[in-house]
Structure 1
Amino acid sequence: MTGLRDRARRAVRAEVAGIGFGLFAEHGFDQVTADQIAAAAGMSRTSFFRYFPTKEDVVLGHLEEMGEELSAALAARPAGEGAWVALEQAFYDQFGETLEDPDRALRLAKMMQETPALRARHLEKQQKWQELLAPEVARRLRITDDPSDPRARAVTGAALACLDAANVAWMNSKGEKDMRDLIHQVMSTL
């Protein structure tokens, strides 16, 4: 159960992220500073950095929570399901449904493609996803607890690359294509 303090922190983060996203959409990511976002949100620079370690986290901060949700979705798949199928189904659960705000999602995807700093931070976050997902993938591959065995990380990395390819295709279609179909298309190719 989430306490009042956690809910308040999430609400402030969401509000500041919305303000930042609006500034980025209007002026471009690289033209907006953390100080400008803090000022627009009515907070100090110090307070801003208590909520967001980097300016990139204003856009991508939600990815940590998404990684945890994705890990939980993967773990919840039926025990006998193979690793690749379980990953695909977990991706469906997390990313296959119609997005709440497809226009915002498209702007975000475009911003990420056009901004090297965001792409780099996204890759960092996905590395954390890989760390979260690999143990469950290893279990499904029946790999022992040998940290030098690269197979679970390889499978997880390939699946995340498929998810990225599906996302780029979805963005290029301007949100017209169904994300589930795209996920299936790229994952079935491998």
Structure 2
Amino acid sequence: MTQGTREIARVAVRRRLAEVAIDVFRRDGFDRVTIADVAAEAGVSRSTFQRYFPTKEDVFLEPIEEQTALVEVALRERPAGEDDWTALRRALDALIAPQLADPATALDTARVIQQTPVLRARTVAQRVAWAPRLASALAERHPGQGSDLIRLVRAAAAMNCVTLVVERWVDSHGERDFGDLLDEAFTAFRG
């Protein structure tokens, strides 16, 4: 029971540190803020902050990694009768959950990423790196069927759709529905 309580506390502290960091980055600019600045704002030592986030980029990159892992799981769980493109689109609903849970924070986070070249480049690289994993998940849905290249192209296209949709969503100040934007982007490939 104690280990469960510790993990709950760790998750809560991590979440709070991320919230403070995003607020500070949004207010003062990512490039002008140091880890020490964020730690001071959060009321913790620099070393405490770095136990949760070794770099300030990790505040943004680790949650994206976790969300994309959820997409991979969701893709594996899609019905076998679905075509790959539909399965990819529906699996990406896992990315929409944070927007629904806390739209303001999700938008602030996406905005900081879009406005910070190093973060933007690293998140795009993260999505590119996920294409082979999603292609592998597609292959597991229909073992021995289809081309690995086609699955990889579909997964890469899906990740590119996410990149473009995030840009449009931020440009709309969160007024466009993220899911509708994903639907529109995916429809473009079918048209």
Aligned to 1:125: 126
Identity %: 39
User: 1:112 & 1:163 partners in 2: Cα distance?
Assistant: 14
Aligned amino acid, residue 174 of structure 2: G
Aligned to 1:84: 85
Aligned to 1:162: 161
Contact 1:96 1:179 (C-alpha < 8 Å) held by counterparts: no
**Structure 2 runs not aligned, ≥5 long:** none
> Within 5 Å, which residues of 2 pair with 1:60-79?
60-79=61-80
Aligned to 2:60: 59
> Within 5 Å, which residues of 2 pair with 1:1-190?
3-95=4-96, 99-140=100-141, 142=143, 149-190=148-189
Aligned amino acid, residue 31 of structure 2: D
CA gap of 1:12–1:127, structure 2 versus 1, over 3 A, is farther
Deviation at 1:175, TM superposition (A): 1.8
Contact 1:106 1:171 (C-alpha < 8 Å) held by counterparts: yes
Contact 1:35 1:45 (C-alpha < 8 Å) held by counterparts: yes
Aligned amino acid, residue 170 of structure 1: W
Deviation at 1:42, TM superposition (A): 2.9
Deviation at 1:131, TM superposition (A): 4.3
Contact 1:112 1:119 (C-alpha < 8 Å) held by counterparts: yes
Aligned amino acid, residue 165 of structure 1: L
User: 2:36 & 2:8 partners in 1: Cα distance?
Assistant: 24
CA gap of 1:79–1:61, structure 2 versus 1, over 3 A, is same
User: 1:139 & 1:119 partners in 2: Cα distance?
Assistant: 31
Deviation at 1:35, TM superposition (A): 1.3
User: 1:133 & 1:52 partners in 2: Cα distance?
Assistant: 26
User: 1:78 & 1:5 partners in 2: Cα distance?
Assistant: 37
User: 1:171 & 1:17 partners in 2: Cα distance?
Assistant: 20
Number of residues of Structure 1 aligned to a counterpart in Structure 2:
187
Structure showing the higher helix proportion among its residues = 2
Contact 1:70 1:91 (C-alpha < 8 Å) held by counterparts: yes
Deviation at 1:79, TM superposition (A): 1.2
Q: Which moved more, 1:2-11 or 1:35-44?
A: 2-11
Aligned amino acid, residue 152 of structure 1: R
**Structure 1 runs not aligned, ≥5 long:** none
CA shift digits 1:72-100 (9 cap, x unpaired): 21112101211111001112354278623
CA gap of 1:125–1:101, structure 2 versus 1, over 3 A, is same
Q: Which moved more, 1:132-141 or 1:158-167?
A: 132-141
